[in-house]
Amino acid sequence: MLKYLVKRLLQAVPLLILITMLCFTLINLAPYDAMDAKVTDKMTPADIEQMREEMGLNDPIPVQYLRWVKGLLQGDLGQSLINRTNIATDLKEKIPNTIKLVLPAYATAFLLAIALGLIAGRYKNTWVDKLINSTASIGLSVPTFWVALLFIYFFGLKLDLFPVMGMHSLGEDSFEDFLHHFVLPYAVLTIGFLPDLVRYVRSSTVTQFDEEYVTVQRAFGSSSGTILLRHVSKNVLLPMITKLGMALPMLVTGAVITETVFAWPGIGVYFTTAIRNLDYPVVMVVLVLSGSLVILGNLISDILCAVIDPRIRIGR
Amino acid sequence: MSNLLEIKQLRTSFSTLRGKVDAIRGVDLCVRENEILGIVGESGSGKSVTMKSVMGLLPKSAKVSADSLLYKGEDLLKKSEKQLQKYRGREMAMIFQDPMTALNPLRTIGYHLTEVIRRYRKVSKAEAEKIAVEMLRQVGIPSPEARMKQYPHEFSGGMRQRVVISMALCCEPSLLIADEPTTALDVTIQAQILDLLKQLKKDRGMSMVLISHDMGVMANMCDRIAVMYGGVLVEEGTVDEIFYHPQHPYTKDLLRSIPRPEITRGSRLQAIDGAPPSLHDLPAGCPSATRCAHATERCFAEMPAVTAFSATQNARCHLLAEKEA
């Protein structure tokens, strides 16, 4: 197991290098650089040239890249061009806010999806299944921001039940206040995550019920409830673990749109603002971060699978 | 010997996208106590569907009807799904063709067995495990204690079939239905599994229905044989009657097509010409008419009635009926 782990971690290194290279190259291909954010009317071309030299922007691209990566490795993520703030400090403040929103929403959607999917798959082609499945299909084709706007309109504006912006009221810091702000984006996000997961669990359940071992179990007197709970569900949950690992990057970038609509002070707003303002160090760091999380998530789900699925248990 | 299972005019149809398919068209069959009944026939002749209809194991798209379906004198057709469930396993268990897919890949062998045991007997988990180990030993699995903790993928096909058989034994059924239990296994393993089934039948005095397309297996195992074709029973008789005095032309063709070691090099295998009828488009008359060398116009037009030749042998053929009359 340990050998497998080390091997997988080592395999991740070149991928990570590739991600940083890609991010850096793409950003450098963009027709602007750090100077465009700093230049003011009062600067002479000579001043600008001097600043470029000082910031190292005249160095060859590989040199700049290595300098940047060296910074990343030492934990220096650089500075925002606009706010002059330390990006690492910013992230430390923003990421927890995003997690506070995404984690409960994804967990809710995940558990709900397992229940609904198993029920729909078990009662395939009955009205329960048709209700669940068609609702999921509709949900899948409805964009999140539209749901968000509807919620804002009805629950925020019409019924005036919940605030529609931010995480806290000004000057308030209580948990109740947080919850009050939390409800709408949480609901929207859960609805956003749910349909895909439900359909996944349902189709997986349907496939499992067609398996021969289900017929065998029936031939030995198992009730369909027993088969569902003791046999099918375990086979359905296994691929769900993979989904769980893959969802890891969502903790950072899973709610960009919802956060933006609700002005939730998480990564989403931070990231979109940075893009709008050509704040390229921020954009690069967020891209590298979410890319690394994809790799890490894959690794985690592989390991979880190996732990749970007896067929791929390693080192025996 | 009394009848354990008595099927009268069983009809099973499936509703498919291409319309209704009549898979079983009026089958009369009985299984006596302490006998092995063989059902033989080509693919799609309705062997498995007949027994799955009895067990209630067909998908929802299937419609099963019969004049009666008596098991130990009780009509299974009048039972609810819940009541039928009590029959499955405890009274009649079924083992299947493909042992590779018959077990849940994520559950240990021990789990499979103890689950079944504890469904029928009020025993503790430890006791159930003890019984399970004993069952595995009985079906010839070496070092059963260690095997209990293993998963299906750690077993070979033959060993998995033994596991499924031991699951069936845990239920102590009166009737074991074996649906091509050796078709997916190689020949040496086939013989072992068949010997095992025969031994178990002898030791426990249970009845068995053996479904196969292998006439050799039939000769070896069965007391009586039923030949199915196109959803009907074309001939039925004891092993000796079927093998030494076959009446129906189809049965004769079937026996002729068994490969024999004495066939010399260069001579051709005897195959039955043509193909079985499509269930979507069944002929009105005898299902085997298109492949029968003796078929008359009547054979194509009209389903033959059953002609009895002895207390145990009967066949469905116009020509035989005319000869007898």
**B161-203: pLDDT as tens digits:** 989 999 988 888 999 999 988 888 888 888 888 998 898 888 8
Q: Which residues of chain A lie closer than 8 angstroms to B103, CB-CB?
A: 213, 216
Among chain A residues, the shortest Cα distance to B120 is held by A221
Percent of chain A with pLDDT over 90: 22
Q: Which residues of chain A lie closer than 8 angstroms to B102, CB-CB?
A: 212-213, 216
A279 phi, psi to nearest 5 deg: -85, 75
pLDDT at B225 exceeding the cut of 80:
yes
DSSP state letter for A165: S
B55/A231 CB distance under 8 A: no
Mean pLDDT of B102-107: 91
A266 phi, psi to nearest 5 deg: -110, -160
Which bin fits A125, alpha (ψ -120 to 50), beta or left (φ > 0)? left
Out of A220, A230, A309, closest to residue B171 by CB: A220
Helix and strand counts by DSSP (H, E) for chain A: 15, 0
Percent of chain A with pLDDT over 70: 96
Give domain limits for chain A: 2-73, 93-277
- Token pair of B229, please? 């074709």
Among chain B residues, the shortest Cα distance to A316 is held by B154
Q: Band of the pLDDT at A315, cuts 50, 70, 90?
A: very low
pLDDT at B266 exceeding the cut of 80:
no
Most confidently modeled range among B41-50, B106-115, B286-295 = B106-115
A221/B90 CB distance under 8 A: yes
Average predicted confidence (pLDDT) for chain A: 86
pLDDT in tens, B291-313: 888 888 888 888 888 888 888 89
Q: Which of A142-156, B145-159, B254-268 is the least confident region? A: B254-268
Out of A213, A222, A223, closest to residue B102 by CB: A213
Burial class for B67, CB neighbours closer than 10 Å (0-12, 13-18, 19+): middle
Q: Which of A2-16, A160-174, B118-132, B180-194 is the least confident region? A: A160-174
- Tell me the C-alpha to C-alpha distance, in Å, between residue B256 and each of A69, A83, B15, B276: 80, 92, 36, 17
pLDDT number for residue A120: 93
Q: Which residues of chain A lie closer than 8 angstroms to B135, CB-CB?
A: none
Q: Band of the pLDDT at A313, cuts 50, 70, 90?
A: low
Q: Band of the pLDDT at A316, cuts 50, 70, 90?
A: very low
Q: Band of the pLDDT at B60, cuts 50, 70, 90?
A: confident
pLDDT number for residue B211: 93
Out of B86, B87, B106, closest to residue A235 by CB: B106
User: Residue B217's closest CA among B195, B200, B247, B245?
Assistant: B195
Among chain B residues, the shortest Cα distance to A311 is held by B153
Q: Which residues of chain B lie closer than 8 angstroms to A211, CB-CB?
A: 101
pLDDT number for residue B112: 92
pLDDT at A122 exceeding the cut of 60:
yes
CA distance A118 to chain B (A): 17
- Tell me the C-alpha to C-alpha distance, in Å, between residue A218 and each of A9, A127, A202, B172, B212: 44, 24, 21, 16, 22
- Token pair of A293, please? 């999380």
Mean pLDDT of A248-269: 87
Residues of B with CB under 8 A from a CB of A: 55, 57, 85-90, 93-96, 98, 101-107, 115-116, 119-120, 151, 153, 164, 167-168, 171
Percent of chain B with pLDDT over 90: 34
pLDDT number for residue A156: 83
Out of B103, B106, B171, closest to residue A234 by CB: B106
Q: Which of A9-13, A36-40, B97-101 is the least confident region? A: A36-40
Among chain A residues, the shortest Cα distance to B161 is held by A216
pTM for the predicted model, two decimal places = 0.81
pLDDT number for residue B1: 52
CA distance B67 to chain A (A): 23
Distance CA A231, CA A208 (A): 9
Under 8 Å between Cβ of B66 and B7: yes
Q: Band of the pLDDT at A37, cuts 50, 70, 90?
A: low
Burial A114-150 (b: 16+ CB within 10 A, else e): bebbbbbbbebeeeebeebbeebeebeeeebeebbee
pLDDT at A43 exceeding the cut of 80:
no
Under 8 Å between Cβ of B211 and B205: no
Which CATH code fits A93-277? 1.10.3720.10
pLDDT number for residue A34: 67
Pairs across A and B, CB distance < 8 A: 71
pLDDT in tens, A184-210: 999 999 999 999 999 999 999 999 998
Q: Which amino acid, one-letter code, is at B16?
A: T
Q: Which residues of chain B lie closer than 8 angstroms to A310, CB-CB?
A: 105-106, 151, 153
CB neighbours (10 Å) of residue B98? 17
